[in-house]
């Protein structure tokens, strides 16, 4: 017979000591947000959770517990058979639910009785979320940010990727947000994460940086798509040292046509996005741009969008929001191919120490 033992508790600061992080909340809760790297092993799925909750309110707590116990036991058994059976005795998972109570306690109890060494996250997801919000106000303050600036189509994301490959610390906000950061920035087939999940991914990235080394980040506005940057991070970015990437207009047009191939293949998608600019430019200009798209005059269209809309908007935003932008050193990249971007990354990597704050 199982003898109940209180599972040990672990703080969020200890999560890296565990072999796995197991989220036993429902799939819907997990989809909204979870600890980065956590496995979803619900002890109640979304429908089961509603059923138990409804029974608790409309019938009685006793009846709800009977239903819940049967469902939780069945689900934990399935997870052990399908997910955990090959784990060695030394396996140490961290288990959490909403408050670090019944659901995670049930999973941790069974795992401990098997012979594994689980712990429960103290306070569960609710405490984790509070800590993430608090840490997003603190972690940016310790970073030495090096802000990569450049007009639309300058290959800033490619440059960040090359810097990471070269060994630099990189905070790639648009990759985390799954958005290119402009009115045309939606990634086909890749919805943005929830705000809470974005916060979690940011926290996980920020906590891993070495404060003694610079962190490269792209200049951004307050929002990337529909996601908000934490105020403390945005403030730190705007005070950071800048470098300006300059690329010839023709090369930027070529680069953007390749990057936004989905608009070339489906001009109607572009038309829908251009409609967002109607209030700025009126029907005559928007209709002209839509006509250029319909006619396949992509080079002309992209060039006009850059010169008339994107470049002036970027210059205003960067000059007004980034204190060091007007006097930032310039790095010219003639070609945004692998060789050109790699050479630019190597130059920034070489300069990174003298450019620290």
Q: CB count, 10 Å around CB of 246?
A: 14
Q: Which of 325, 328, 304 is nearest to 316 (CA)?
A: 325
Q: How confident is the model at residue 1 (pLDDT cuts 50, 70, 90)?
A: very low
DSSP three-state, residue 80: helix
Rg (CA), the chain: 25
Residues 6+ apart with CB under 8 A from 224: 173, 174, 177, 179, 181, 185
Tens-digit pLDDT profile for residues 73-95: 999 999 999 999 999 999 999 99
Whether residue 356 is predicted with pLDDT greater than 80 in this model: the reply is no
**In angstroms, rounded to a whole number, what is the distance separating the alpha carbons of residues 291 and 297?**
9
Residues in the chain: 357
Burial zone of 148 (CB within 10 Å; 0-12 exposed, 13-18 middle, 19+ buried): buried
Q: Where are the domains of the chain?
A: 9-122, 138-351
Tens-digit pLDDT profile for residues 327-355: 999 999 999 999 999 999 999 988 765 44
Q: Quick check: 15 and 94 in contact, CB under 8 A? A: yes
Which residues have a catalytic role annotated? 97
Tens-digit pLDDT profile for residues 260-282: 887 777 777 777 778 888 888 89
**In angstroms, rounded to a whole number, what is the distance separating the alpha carbons of residues 235 and 219?**
11
Angle (CA) 291 293 294, round 5°: 65
Tens-digit pLDDT profile for residues 291-321: 888 888 999 999 999 999 999 999 999 999 9
Tens-digit pLDDT profile for residues 175-234: 999 998 776 667 767 899 999 999 999 999 999 999 999 999 999 999 999 999 999 999
**In angstroms, rounded to a whole number, what is the distance separating the alpha carbons of residues 7 and 350?**
50
CA distances from 266 to 34, 97, 102, 274, 296 (A): 35, 43, 50, 13, 11
Q: CB count, 10 Å around CB of 276?
A: 11
What's the pLDDT score for residue 352? 65
**In angstroms, rounded to a whole number, what is the distance separating the alpha carbons of residues 14 and 272?**
47
What's the pLDDT score for residue 308? 93
Across the chain, mean pLDDT equals 92
Whether residue 2 is predicted with pLDDT greater than 50 in this model: the reply is no
What's the pLDDT score for residue 266? 75
Which fold does the domain 9-122 belong to in CATH? Answer: Oxidized Rhodanese; domain 1 (3.40.250)
Average pLDDT over every residue of 163-183: 91
- CATH number for the domain running over 138-351: 3.40.50
pTM: 0.91
């Amino acid at each position: 017979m199982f003898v109940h033992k209180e599972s040990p508790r672990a703080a969020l600061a200890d999560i890296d000591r565990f072999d796995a992080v197991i989220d036993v909340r429902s799939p819907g809760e997990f989809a909204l947000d979870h600890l980065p790297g956590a496995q979803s092993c619900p002890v109640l799925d979304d429908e089961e959770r509603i059923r138990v909750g409804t029974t608790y309110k409309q019938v009685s707590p006793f009846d709800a517990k009977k239903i819940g116990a049967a469902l939780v036991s069945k689900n934990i058994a399935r997870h052990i058979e399908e997910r955990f059976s090959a784990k060695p005795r030394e396996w140490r998972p961290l288990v959490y639910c909403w408050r670090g109570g019944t659901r995670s306690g049930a999973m941790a109890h069974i795992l401990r009785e098997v012979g594994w060494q689980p712990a429960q996250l103290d306070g569960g997801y609710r405490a984790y979320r509070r800590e993430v919000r608090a840490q997003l106000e603190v972690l940016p303050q310790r970073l030495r940010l090096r802000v990569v600036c450049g007009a639309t189509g300058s290959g800033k994301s490619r440059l960040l990727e090359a810097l990471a490959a070269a060994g630099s610390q990189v905070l790639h906000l648009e990759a985390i947000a799954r958005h290119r950061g402009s009115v045309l920035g939606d990634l086909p087939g890749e919805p943005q994460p929830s705000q809470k999940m974005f916060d979690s991914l940011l926290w996980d990235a920020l906590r891993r940086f070495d404060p003694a080394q610079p962190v490269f980040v792209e200049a951004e506005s307050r929002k990337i798509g529909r996601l908000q940057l934490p105020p403390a991070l945005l403030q730190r970015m705007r005070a950071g040292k800048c470098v300006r990437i300059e690329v010839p207009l023709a090369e930027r047009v070529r680069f953007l046509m390749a990057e936004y191939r989905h608009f070339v293949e489906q001009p109607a998608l572009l038309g829908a996005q251009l409609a967002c600019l109607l209030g700025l430019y009126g029907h005559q200009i928007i209709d002209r741009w839509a006509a250029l798209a319909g006619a396949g005059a992509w080079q002309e269209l992209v060039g006009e969008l850059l010169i008339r809309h994107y470049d002036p908007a970027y210059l205003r935003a960067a000059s007004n929001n980034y204190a060091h932008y007007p006097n930032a050193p310039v790095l010219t990249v003639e070609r945004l191919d692998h060789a050109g971007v790699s050479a630019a990354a190597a130059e920034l990597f070489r300069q990174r120490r003298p450019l620290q704050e």
